[in-house]
Amino acid sequence: MSKNRRSTPQRVLVFQGGGSLGAYEAGVFHVLYHWIKSSLSKSETIHCWLKGDLVQVK
């Protein structure tokens, strides 16, 4: 990494759960994404990484 790179604030959201909880969290993420995006300057960007797992035990 370049030593001249300016440090910028980073935000991380970690959600846990599935089913109806996962649906609720998707709604929370949607609202937070647009709220954070509206506060950014033109030169700032948002990077979103989403990952989901499903584990079923019988």
- Mean pLDDT for back-to-back runs of 10 residues, the chain (58 residues): 65 73 82 86 77 71
Q: Can you say whether the dihedral through the CA atoms of 26, 28, 29, 34 is positive or negative?
A: positive
What's the confidence (pLDDT) of residue 16?
A: 76
In angstroms, what CA-CA distances link 42 with 5, 13, 14, 16? 18, 22, 26, 32
- Triad 15, 21, 22: Cα angle to 5°: 60
Residue 28 has a pLDDT of 85
Q: What pLDDT score was predicted for residue 44?
A: 78
pTM for the structure as a whole: 0.55
**CA–CA dist 50, 12 (Å, integer):** 11
